[in-house]
Chain A
Amino acid sequence: MAAQGTSLRQYALTRLALVIPMVLILLTMVFLLMRVAPGDPITASLGGRVPQEVVDEIKHNLGYDKPIYVQYGNYLGDIARGDFGTTITDRREVTDIIRVNGAATLELTFFAMIVAIVVGVVVGLFAGRFRDSSMDVGGRLFGIVIYATPVFFLGLLAQLFFGSYLGWLPTSDRASPITQATLETHTNIFTIDALIARDRDAFVDVVRHLILPAVTLGLVTAGIFIRLIRVNVIRTMKDDYIEAARARGVSERSVVYHHAFRNALVPVITIIGLTMALLLGGAVLTETTFNWPGLGHTLIVYLQNRDYAAVQGIIVVFALVVVAVSVIIDFVNAYLDPRIRY
């Protein structure tokens, strides 16, 4: 037992040490990408709108007139101190954007993930269990078609049907103007804020706004889950211990539920990790479709204004989130499966 405890700790430390080069590469990639762009960022975002002296002053304040290696050093130093910069166009702290708009993205992706897991696991397990049955055909076809549907097209269909045809649900924003004006925001995650405020009307309003975006993003993500879980079940059902359990006279029901499904679901944690990058990408599209003021939507707005500082800051945040999630997933996996060690 003691030896295993040590090795898990060792694994964790080694894995953490490997994060450093990964983060450094990602940060360098972002830095280089933003610098190879022709012209300097300040002129690009403010060009023609303010006098040259102002442009020069902003350039000086932001350090864009220094040599590139000094800029690189400052950039890394700032990020290490938790300073992601300030936007050029509206002088907003990127950390403030993360707090407000990041919370919106977190809320959306969290509920989308729940939808994806529930739909994906149920359909995937049964499609794999009854391979080549009509349930499998239906499940797989659903998986393929939903995967083939761009999230913004599914969103458009949802808006057409539930929004304008049936008129049941709102199709844009996080809450109605009244709720937005009255709700006190502590966490900026509106569902939690409404619960804290014990405001029933606000809660209902927030949830109604959340349903279409979360289900849309969740269903598209479920396509991936269905595919991977189905193949997993098929593979697990061929394993020796399934055969052994059958040979022992364990009922087929118990074989499937206790032996096959449980083991087929272990890799789901890894799948969640793999889907994270996809989910964040999907969030950009979903947020744009439903006018959801999250990080992705904000990024697109700043891209349109050619605000390089904002784009750089938000992209860095995305990169850090992806790395953090992959580390957490690896930890959970290592905790669950003692075979995973360096």
Chain B
Amino acid sequence: MAAPAQTEEFGRSGRRVLRPRLRRTVAPIAEARGMTRTMLWAGIAITLFFILVAFLAPVISPYEFDQFRADGRRFAQLEAPSADHLMGTTVQSTDVLSRVIWGTRTELEVVLVSLLLSLSIGVPLGLISGYFGGRLDRVLVLLMDAMLAFPFLLLAIVIAFLLSGSIGRGILTAAVAITVAYIPLYFRVIRNHVISIKEESYVEAARALGARPFTVIRKYVFFNVIQNVPPLATLNAADAILLLAALGFLGYGIQPTEAAEWGYDIQRAVSDTASGIWWTGVFPGLAIVLLVTGLTLLGEGLNETINPVLRKRPKVKVELPTSIAEAETP
């Protein structure tokens, strides 16, 4: 029984290798039980919902994000939620529901760009620094530690502030400001993992066979290290949304004329609270809470299914084959 399975595992044809590998990757997710399972699926559902909203924004949104009049008539200012405006209107007469829907798109776009940027810088740097060590490693670690020590909101504000002068305040500025805060995180996780994997015997064997450093990194180190990334990236995406909203709240996010952004909307709503107007701030706020909760559940769920320290397996009832059972009861 064992022999064919082994040839399939180590076979040269790509497709044969892929299937067990895929099954091994997905298996923990399917095996997840109890709370972990609930968390994982709730996270997937919420995240998918927001992705869907972002894609369908032009179809489902009743108005444009900055539209304040329709049919030649200006919307009422600060109108309470009604049939015309399900979530009410803001002080600029824009429709809150439309702003929340279009905001989803902005939020996901920025987070996606910043994740891609920080992964494509942090991961290679971590791989190289961890694998080659030496002086470059020491300098990079010192630099990244210094960046990590800095309150990342402040770092992001300063970057956004500096960039706003030269490249404007669009999605790219916000994404870069967030990216700078996350590069050190990926760098550190990847580097530390590479250092421990470097000493494994299979890596040493590859080196002994004369594989070049980049071949070793690509074929043996990379796939082992990259497993840590999905939970971390999901949790970071959650964090990045909070950071973007914070930037928007402080007035260093996206230019209000370019796109709707939840943090900016909440900032505008703070002055409404004194007169008891709740709908301008509560709806964008709830959107943030829900999306971040979804991503966090997904990330934590993934972490618990992939991280063996936290993983809980279902208890399987052991049934002895009858022959053994009979042999044991004389």
Q: Which residues of A contact B (CB under 8 A)?
A: 21-22, 25-26, 29, 33, 36-39, 44, 132, 136-137, 140, 144-145, 147-150, 152-153, 156-157, 159-160, 163-165, 171, 231, 234-235, 277-278, 280-282, 284-285, 288-289, 299-300, 303-304, 311, 315, 318-319, 322-323, 326
Contact = CB atoms under 8 A, between A and B. Distances in A.
B175 interface: no
B154 A280 contact: yes
Nearest to B34: A132
B7 interface: no
Nearest to B163: A37
B242 A284 contact: no
B162 interface: yes
Interface stretch (B87-95, B108-116, B285-293): B285-293
Given A22-B146, A29-B146, A318 B158 contact: no
Interface stretch (B10-18, B54-62, B66-74, B262-270): B262-270
B183 interface: no
Contact of A29 (B147, B152, B275): B147
A148 B34 CA distance: 23
B268 to A, nearest CB: 11
Nearest to B267: A152
A303 B170 CA distance: 18
B53 interface: no
A148 B162 contact: no
B278 interface: yes
Interface stretch (B217-225, B244-252, B316-324): B244-252
Nearest to B159: A33
B249 A288 contact: yes
A165 B266 CA distance: 18
Interface in B248-304: 249-252, 263, 266-267, 269-270, 273-276, 278, 281-282, 285, 288-290, 292-293, 296-297, 300
B83 interface: no
Nearest to B238: A148
Nearest to B245: A150
Contacts of A322: 149-151
B204 interface: no
B310 interface: yes
A44 B166 CA distance: 13
Contacts of B297: 144
A234 to B, nearest CB: 8
Contacts, number: 144
Contacts of B289: 145, 148-150, 153
A277 B155 CA distance: 11
Contacts of A319: 149-150
Given A26-B149, A153-B288, A144 B273 contact: no
Contact of B250 (A132, A231, A282, A284): A284
Contacts of B22: none
A300 B154 CA distance: 10
A37 B285 contact: no
Interface of B: 34-35, 142-143, 145-147, 149-154, 157-159, 161-162, 165-166, 238, 242, 245-246, 249-252, 263, 266-267, 269-270, 273-276, 278, 281-282, 285, 288-290, 292-293, 296-297, 300, 309-310
Contacts of B152: 277, 281
24 contacts: A26-B146, A33-B162, A36-B162, A39-B165, A145-B293, A148-B290, A150-B242, A150-B245, A150-B288, A152-B263, A152-B270, A153-B266, A153-B285, A153-B289, A157-B282, A157-B285, A160-B273, A299-B154, A303-B161, A311-B161, A315-B158, A318-B150, A319-B150, A322-B150
Contacts of B310: 231, 234
List 3 A-B pairs, minimum CB-CB distance, nearest first.
A281-B153, A148-B292, A153-B285
A34 B153 CA distance: 16
B151 A22 contact: no
Given A22-B146, A160-B281, 17 more contacts: A29-B150, A37-B162, A132-B35, A136-B35, A150-B285, A153-B266, A157-B285, A159-B274, A163-B274, A164-B273, A235-B309, A281-B154, A282-B153, A284-B153, A299-B154, A300-B157, A318-B151
Nearest to A283: B151
B243 to A, nearest CB: 9
B296 A144 contact: yes
Given A21-B142, A26-B149, A36-B162, A156 B285 contact: yes
Contacts of A26: 146, 149-150
User: In this complex, which of A145, A147, A152, A288 has the most chain B Cβ atoms within 10 angstroms of its Cβ?
Assistant: A152
Contacts of B166: 38
Contacts of B263: 150, 152
